[in-house]
């Protein structure tokens, strides 16, 4: 029994050792696995768990409101529900697609959107936008479907209550509420604020059951424009009427307050509704006041006149023989629309003689003309707070050809923007000072007299040169010359017309049928309250001169704006004695 008992004890001990060894191995493997999972792979597994059970999302902040100078809302954001889909991994693909089809019927998705959404689900994406920024009524219909995979979250939708008004100044935003044009783009950082962060919690089937805000968003700042809603409406309506009545390609109007440089209105036609910014054609969204280069023609003669007088090279009574009606310069023929005889410098500009102005340019010389053009800031952007501004095309003096002096004297061979020409005309309105143009301001202006601090301008020409040209030329352009259609009852007006032939893209030569008509001026002439440029591209319907097409638009807009601003007439138009005209009026 002792031997037998000893034998069994040995077997039991052996089995115990073996079992203990295997238990030790199992425990060691388990320990190693736990160390691997909890220490070595902890970060990866933790991230994987978060990916399965949590979904972080960006919370877009409320965008700042845009006001006009009087406090009228031009753009603001409202909460808008958006629908997203977080598919469950266990749900078969056909059932997922069937749910999307049901959603499509409620949300009225386009075929293209439906195809795009299905493709993303088939790829296994874990978050898919179905439709963003829908109406509250549609959101309620979606909720009634009872789909646990569907999430409805609040976003912000940009709304422009005045529709097409000031569209090219405002611009627009994309689906993510990011600026995509106009001041919405230029001032995007200021308007958009700082995004927050949200967290969706999901169960094992990826059905969300809780949403938590991790970091609240910071709303954007508000923005005040220099634009006046009523003045903008007047300018936009009259411009659209002119473009339609003259069957023109496009037109643009800019109105400013010369002493402050504030832009009161900026309109382009054709236009668009910023509420449908993404659907507007690129040509409709193009702000032609700052984004279109053109040869200015006779409005550019204001620079030639400034060069002639500032340097004392030509006196107002110096005469020029324009009786031939044309002049040949370096193989290029410069013509007037009719023979004008012998003209003084004042008459050359008042009646917009190309021949006479080319002769003035020859007196000035290339160096002086070049310096003056540069001084008026042509060839560079004005710096207005809007995106996409063109600088124009102005070649350096070494690249001038034999005909450049004559051609640039009359506004050819150089390309400008409408805002550059208005800025140049404002130099005369401000007694020789250049005051930068702008579209934003810091505070509201509830005064009818356009209260604004006068910035320190930069002197471009002397006060005497500016006042002499206003009195002896630009006022008389409207009284006796090419700009008579811009006359205002009870107010003096200073201005200059322009009619530029356009280059035919087929022939590469200047076309006798395609013109760009313009007028730039300010009123009252001696103490300007407003300045304006009107540009109409390729007017048809029988009229094409700037004095016929653009000057009447100036007159109608200025009349209405001065009435709106409560400006009292300077004189009784019934008693005003107007100098008798000694020659037939022209419109060039």
pLDDT per residue rounded down to tens, the chain (588 residues): 566 667 667 777 777 777 777 777 777 777 776 666 566 666 665 555 555 556 667 777 899 999 999 999 999 999 889 888 888 777 788 888 888 888 888 888 888 888 898 888 888 887 888 888 888 888 888 888 888 788 888 888 999 999 999 999 999 999 989 999 999 999 999 999 998 887 766 555 555 545 677 788 899 999 999 999 999 999 999 999 999 999 999 999 999 999 999 999 999 999 999 999 999 999 999 999 999 999 999 999 999 999 999 999 999 999 999 999 999 998 889 999 899 999 999 999 999 999 999 999 999 999 999 999 999 999 999 999 999 999 999 999 999 999 999 999 999 999 999 999 999 999 999 999 999 999 999 999 887 777 666 788 999 999 999 999 999 999 999 999 999 999 999 999 999 999 999 998 888 889 989 999 999 999 999 899 999 999 999 999 889 999 999 999 999 999 999 999 998 887 776 665 444 333 344 556
134 and 18 belong to one structural domain: no
**Residue 506 domain flag:** yes
State residue 378's pLDDT score: 98
Q: Do residues 354 and 334 touch, judged by C-beta distance below 8 A?
A: yes
175 and 309 belong to one structural domain: no
What CATH number does residue 400 fall under?
3.40.710.10
DSSP structure class, residue 554: H
**Residue 391 domain flag:** yes
Q: Do residues 363 and 308 touch, judged by C-beta distance below 8 A?
A: yes
Last residue of a domain, one of 205, 224, 243: 224
State residue 30's pLDDT score: 74
For 181, list phi and psi in degrees, rounded to 5.
180, 160
State residue 139's pLDDT score: 87
Last residue of a domain, one of 169, 191, 224: 224
State residue 37's pLDDT score: 56
216 and 303 belong to one structural domain: no
17 and 79 belong to one structural domain: no
* Catalytic residue from among 269, 298, 415, 531: 298
191 and 256 belong to one structural domain: no
164 and 271 belong to one structural domain: no
Residue 298 annotated as catalytic = yes
238 and 315 belong to one structural domain: yes
State residue 38's pLDDT score: 67
**Residue 576 domain flag:** no
Q: Which of 409, 382, 406 is nearest to 289 (CA)?
A: 382
Q: Whole-angstrom Cα distance, residue 231 to residue 10?
A: 110
What CATH number does residue 67 fall under?
3.90.1310.10
Give pTM, 2 decimals: 0.86
Q: Do residues 60 and 195 touch, judged by C-beta distance below 8 A?
A: yes
**Residue 583 domain flag:** no
Last residue of a domain, one of 224, 239, 271: 224
For 334, list phi and psi in degrees, rounded to 5.
-110, 130
**Residue 571 domain flag:** no
Domain count, the chain: 3
**Residue 61 domain flag:** yes
281 and 187 belong to one structural domain: no
15 and 121 belong to one structural domain: no
Rounded (5°) CA angle 310-315-316: 105
115 and 79 belong to one structural domain: yes
Q: Which domain holds residue 68?
A: 56-224
**Residue 497 domain flag:** yes
210 and 255 belong to one structural domain: no
315 and 444 belong to one structural domain: yes
**Residue 46 domain flag:** no
Instruction: Label residues 321-345 b or e (16+ Cβ within 10 Å = b).
Output: ebeebebebeebebebeeebeebbb
R_g over Cα of the chain: 36
State residue 579's pLDDT score: 43
């Amino acid at each position: 029994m002792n031997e037998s008992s000893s034998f069994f004890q040995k077997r039991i001990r052996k089995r115990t050792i073996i079992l203990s060894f295997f238990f030790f191995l199992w425990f060691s493997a388990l320990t190693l696995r736990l160390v691997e999972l909890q220490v070595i792979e902890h970060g990866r597994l933790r991230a994987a768990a978060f990916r399965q059970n949590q979904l972080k999302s960006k919370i877009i902040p409320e965008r700042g409101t845009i006001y006009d100078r009087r406090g009228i809302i031009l753009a603001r954001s409202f909460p808008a529900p958006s629908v997203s889909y977080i598919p469950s991994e266990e749900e078969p693909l056909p059932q997922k697609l069937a749910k999307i089809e049901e959603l499509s019927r409620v949300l009225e998705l386009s075929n293209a959107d439906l195809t795009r959404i299905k493709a993303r689900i088939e790829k296994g994406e874990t978050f898919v936008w179905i439709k963003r920024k829908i109406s509250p009524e549609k959101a309620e219909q979606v909720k009634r479907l009872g789909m646990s995979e569907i999430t409805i979250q609040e976003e912000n939708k940009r709304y422009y209550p005045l529709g097409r008004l000031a569209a090219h100044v405002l611009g627009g935003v994309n689906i993510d509420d990011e600026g995509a044009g106009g001041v919405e783009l230029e001032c995007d950082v200021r308007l958009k604020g700082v995004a927050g962060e949200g967290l969706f919690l999901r169960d094992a089937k990826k059905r969300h059951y809780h949403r938590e805000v991790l970091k609240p968003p910071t709303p954007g700042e508000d923005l005040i424009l220099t634009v006046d809603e009523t003045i903008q409406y007047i300018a936009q309506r009259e411009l659209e009427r002119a473009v339609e009545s003259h069957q023109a390609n496009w037109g643009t109007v800019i109105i400013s307050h010369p002493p402050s440089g504030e832009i009161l209105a900026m309109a382009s036609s054709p236009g668009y509704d910023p509420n449908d910014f993404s659907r507007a054609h690129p040509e409709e969204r193009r702000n032609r006041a700052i984004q279109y280069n053109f040869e200015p023609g006779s409005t550019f003669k204001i620079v030639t006149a400034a060069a002639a007088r500032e340097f004392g090279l030509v006196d107002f009574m110096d005469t020029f023989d324009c009786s031939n009606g044309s002049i040949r310069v370096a193989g290029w023929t410069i013509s007037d629309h009719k023979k004008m005889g012998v003209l003084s410098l004042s008459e050359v500009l008042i009646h917009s003689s190309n021949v006479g102005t080319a002769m003035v340019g020859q007196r000035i010389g290339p160096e002086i003309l070049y310096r003056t053009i540069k001084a008026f800031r042509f060839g560079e952007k004005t710096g207005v707070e809007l995106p996409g501004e063109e600088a124009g095309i102005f070649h350096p003096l070494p690249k001038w050809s034999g005909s450049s002096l004559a051609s640039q004297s009359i506004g050819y061979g150089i390309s400008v923007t409408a805002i550059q020409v208005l800025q140049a005309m404002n130099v005369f309105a401000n007694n020789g000072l250049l005051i930068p143009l702008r579209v934003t301001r810091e505070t509201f202006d509830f005064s009818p007299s356009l209260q604004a601090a006068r910035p320190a301008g930069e002197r471009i020409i002397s006060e005497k040169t500016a006042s002499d040209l206003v009195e002896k030329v630009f006022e008389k352009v409207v009284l006796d010359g090419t700009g008579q259609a811009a006359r205002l009852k009870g107010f003096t007006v200073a201005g200059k017309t322009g009619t530029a032939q356009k280059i035919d893209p087929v022939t590469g030569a200047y076309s006798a049928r395609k013109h760009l008509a313009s007028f730039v001026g300010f009123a009252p002439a001696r103490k300007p309250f407003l300045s304006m440029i009107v540009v109409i591209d390729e007017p048809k319907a029988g009229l094409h001169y700037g004095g016929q097409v653009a000057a009447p638009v100036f007159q109608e807009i200025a009349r209405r704006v001065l009435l709106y601003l409560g400006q009292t007439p300077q004189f009784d138009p019934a008693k005003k004695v107007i100098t008798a005209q000694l020659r037939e009026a022209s419109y060039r």
